[in-house]
Amino acid sequence: MFSYRHAFHAGNHADVLKHMVLIATLDHMLEKETALTVVDTHAGAGLYRLDGDYAGTSGEAAEGVLRLVTDPKAPPAPAPAPATTAAAKKAAKEAEAPLADALARYLEVIHDFNAKGGARVYPGSPFIVQHLLRDHDRLKLFELHPTDSRTLTANIAQLEAGRQIAVLHEDGFGSATKFLPPPSRRALVLMDPSYELKTDYGRVLDFAAEALKRFATGTYAVWYPIIPRPEAHDLPRRLKTLATKAGKSSLNVTLTVKSSKITTAPSGETRRPGLPASGMFLINPPYTLKPLLEAALPQLVQKLGQDRNAGFTVEAAG
């Protein structure tokens, strides 16, 4: 247990999807003046350096957020050659299209942490949420890894946010429901486990069921990997059943960037594709989210897709 460190993965395509959905959801929920409580059951370290040792080891941000921002040190791009084929013309037209609102907003938040451009600093969910919250809102952060919990505590301390933020070195699945319902009866709960343990899939479901029982009108967001594993395959289906049985609406959004096929190199070496796709499942999503994502996802596919298997789905129920 605990070999997972989010610093290796910060800013990858899964973070882009997760954080874009998180920001669009929060933007809507923060339109109401009543205080909002955000519970992040698996918070990570909070803030990451994309030019640091961890991120450099796997370079996952290179196939994620770094494809979306302009490197301030890069020389000006040469003028593109005129598009001749139909496919090249289509790609050129898509590249010129204005950014969809949800994607533009995500990049605006990333830019807020990188005033000089680029994305040397990548905000994890705790910093993204804190950046958007108002003084009277509350943020509860759970992180169980001893090192990440210490880093998170130190990172959060720099914000001098006082009582607004609580960092708990506790099992997010075990005790986060104690904050539900919050006094103002408005909450967003983000469940973003590493799925390092197969049991995480079942625990997400148990947690969501318990949370819905305690606070049926809360908004719940679950990130999950799309990998060839029965538990991963079943999770969105089981979450949908849970929401439907509770009479709640749901939204399931997925982003695929490449094929999940394991290939063999000419040398005979087996090549695993890494994470090819992921999804966000929301219970009680804001009604504004679906159209925002339907506009943004084709652009994400175009910018982050690595082969012809790239694609997206946005599916609402209830």
Residues labelled as active-site residues: 192
Q: Pick the binder of ligand SAM from 42, 120, 240, 258 (CB under 6 A).
A: 42
Single residue of 153, 164, 194, 309 touching ligand SAM by CB under 6 A: 194
Closest alpha carbon to 260 in 230, 236, 226: 226
Tell me whether residue 18 or residue 258 sits nearer to ligand SAM (CB atom): 18
CB closer to ligand SAM, 250 vs 278: 278
145 binds ligand SAM (CB under 6 A): yes
Which residues are CB-contacts of 107 (< 8 A; sequence separation ≥ 6)? 68, 69, 99
Using the minimum distance from each CB to ligand SAM, give the nearer residue, 51 or 92: 51
Name the segment binding ligand SAM (CB under 6 A); options: 129-137, 154-162, 170-178, 296-304.
170-178
- Side chain identity at residue 106, one-letter code: Y
Question: Cβ atoms within 10 A of the Cβ of 126, count?
Answer: 25
140 binds ligand SAM, rule: CB under 6 A: no
279 near ligand SAM (CB under 6 A): no
Do you know the residue count of the chain?
318
Instruction: Give 135's DSSP letter.
Output: T
Q: Residue 241 in contact with residue 317, Cβ under 8 Å?
A: no
Binding to ligand SAM by residue 54, rule CB under 6 A? Answer: no
Does 192 participate in binding ligand SAM (rule CB under 6 A)?
Answer: yes
Tell me the residue number closest to ligand SAM, measured at CB: 124
Looking only at residues 16 through 35 of this chain, which bind ligand SAM when binding is defined by CB under 6 A? 18
Residue 264's alpha-carbon distances to 58, 261, 275, 300, in angstroms, are 20, 10, 17, 28
| Cis ω before 181 (30° cut-off from 0) | yes
Q: What count of Cα atoms within 13 Å lies in the side-chain half-sphere of residue 90?
A: 5
Q: Does 173 bind ligand SAM (CB under 6 A)?
A: yes
Residue from 11, 44, 118, 305 binding ligand SAM (CB under 6 A): 44
**Contact with ligand SAM (CB under 6 A) among 124, 182, 276, 305:** 124
60 touching ligand SAM, by CB under 6 A = no
Helical spans, DSSP H, in the chain: 13-29, 53-58, 86-96, 101-112, 125-132, 146-157, 172-175, 199-214, 230-245, 289-304
- Give the pairing of strands 311-317 and 270-271: unpaired
Q: Does 148 bind ligand SAM (CB under 6 A)?
A: yes
> Considering beta carbons, is residue 43 or 251 the nearer one to ligand SAM?
43
Using CB under 6 A as the criterion, which residues of the chain lie in contact with ligand SAM when the complex forms? Answer: 4, 6, 18, 40, 42-44, 124-125, 142-145, 148, 171-173, 192-194
